[in-house]
Amino acid sequence: MCQVEEDYHEQLERAEVPGVSKKCVKCKEATAAVVIRAGDAYCRGCFKEYFIHKFRAMLGKNRIIFPGEKVLLAVSGGPSSCSMLSQVQEGLSQNAHKKLRFVPGIVYIDEGGAVGQSVEERRRVVAELQAVLKATGFPFHIVPLEQVLDLPSSVVVAAPSPSARPASAYKAAVDHFIQIDSSSSVTPQEKEETPLPDVQESHTHLLQQLIGSAKTLTAREDLLNTLRQHLLVHTARTEGYSKLMLGDNCTRLAVKLLTSISLGRGAQLAQDTGFSDSRYGDIILVRPMRDYSAKEIAFYNRMFSVPSVFIPSLDTKTTDKASIQRLTESFVTKLQADFPSTVSTIYRTSEKLQTACKSSTTADHFDRCLLCMCALDTAVENASAFKATLISEQLSQTKSPGATSADVPGQNPAPVESESTAPTGQCCPSGGGEDCGTAAGGKGCCSSAKGPETADLKSLLCYSCQLTIKDMSSLERLPQYILSEAQRRQRRSQMREEIGEFLLDDGDEGD
């Protein structure tokens, strides 16, 4: 035990903290200007080379983007997406050592209507971001989120993916591009400025009702992310782009991985956090910033004056326990402050994950989730956690024998016949009249008809999207393209069941 009068002759060793007076670990000459990790101190020039090299190495190593392809950059105005835009602009400049060979475009989704911004605030943010996008010289598109209400049903239908190219095709495409580039002078691409679409107040009101129908902030953020991704994919298809580049960094993906596990999206982690995501078929999602931490991006933007625009979101100024996404982000960032290898450990774990269910690229159209377009993870064995959850939910909703007084002698069954227990073919006792049967599509009581519709819609969703839909107060708020595709899939399922005995199985085709 420690004694009061005990003398300590040996001095305590003090850990050596890297300082700015140290030399750069790469060039060994210049004074370090930034310390990324313990022992990794870089000067200004070496840090820029390191940052640029990591971006181009990520694209060159995967070889997904071919020369001459049109790539749409999804810019949200945040530090990560603006840094990605700066890297693309740097790679396409004339002085670049290894120039990028794709044709870029920019898209910005204006979500001001969903978060409750006024018209003046939305115009101010769009004008500020528009000045940043104009300076790049790339064609850009500013799309309000209200347009998601008018999307076609083809958005939630996976288009046929192009045939896989052999490994030698990339090198041949690069050689062909270099020959064309050297023989002809490349003219700078004209700036394509799309006029700002007029947003109707009624559309904004419908969008706010859609987002507000989700009871929890967790469901709202998940629903907003799904709608945003649908609109991004639709914009890429209509404008002729084959790749969609997202600005998710390493820190964001680490938070997303733990959040997805908490939300029941464990089977979709490979698609949600991987470098490339081909769930939509013809449009491939690419994440070239996944090797950068938020700290590295903040240092680079600060040192080299990369502009960014702060845009409030749904979780702005909320507490740590407001949603699962917010709580996970707070947990990871606080743990990262004390243990600097937290984010990298989570990120490296995500690289090794593979989905256990059928891949999204080979899954049938009807085996995909209606919202997230990933392969369904609900077709599992009976002795699984998902089946146990369903049985527990069914048992909790089962009424006791004394709950239905119609079967108990000596009791008047009239009060029991309420809106929730009205038999099929009768109108609810609230006095709906003729409109009651019409609202339910001619199938009886309007309230009793909503139960099967909800159950049928859940059968088209993965487990995580089922939880999101379960938190919504009304499914009628969903966009029409989702409801139309759900009805089409249900009709096809019923038709398949009717003619099922006349169809050949896969094993019978070779007989």
Question: The domain that contains 148 carries what CATH number?
Answer: 3.40.50.620
pLDDT in tens, 255-297: 999 999 999 888 888 889 989 999 998 899 999 999 999 999 9
Structural domain contains residue 30: no
Report the distance separating Cα 297 and Cα 295, nearest Å. 5
Q: Given this model, what pLDDT does residue 195 score?
A: 56
Output the pLDDT for position 71: 95
The pLDDT tens digits for 416-473 are: 444 444 444 444 544 444 444 444 344 444 443 344 455 578 889 999 999 999 999 9
Give pLDDT, residue 506: 57
Whether the CB-CB separation of 101 and 91 falls below 8 Å is answered with no
The Cα–Cα gap between 460 and 36 comes to 45
Q: Is residue 252 part of a domain?
A: yes
Using CA atoms, how far residue 135 sits from 118, 132, 139, 193, 353, in Å, is 26, 5, 11, 12, 39
Instruction: Select from 210, 227, 211, 214 the least CA-distant residue to 471.
Output: 214
Q: Exposed, middle or buried: residue 358 (CB in 10 Å: 0-12, 13-18, 19+)?
A: middle
pTM to 2 decimal places: 0.80
Question: Which of the residues in the chain have pLDDT under 70?
Answer: 1-21, 163-197, 354-366, 380-381, 383, 399-455, 505-511
The residue whose two tokens read 């709906």 is 432
Residue 165, both tokens? 């190219």
Q: Which two tokens stand for residue 182?
A: 């050297």
Spacing of C-alpha 213 from chain mean position: 20
In a domain, 506, yes or no: no
Q: Tell me if 5 is assigned to some domain.
A: no
User: Which pLDDT score, from 0 to 100, does residue 377 have?
Assistant: 81
Query: pLDDT at position 410, please?
Result: 45
Q: CA-to-CA distance for 445 and 38, rounded, in angstroms?
A: 67
**How much is the mean pLDDT over the chain?**
80
> Residue 41 burial (CB < 10 Å; 0-12/13-18/19+)?
buried
Predicted local confidence at residue 8, as pLDDT: 53
Alpha-carbon torsion (224, 226, 232, 238), positive or negative: negative
How many domains, the chain?
1
In a domain, residue 399? The reply is: no
Domain holding 253, by residue range, is 64-161+193-367
Could you tell me the maximum CA-CA distance found in the chain, to the nearest angstrom?
A: 96
What is the pLDDT, as a whole number, of residue 448?
39
pLDDT value at position 424?
A: 43
**Any domain includes 229:** yes
For residue 52, give Cα distances in angstroms to 87, 250, 315, 491.
Answer: 7, 16, 32, 52
pLDDT of the residue at 247: 94
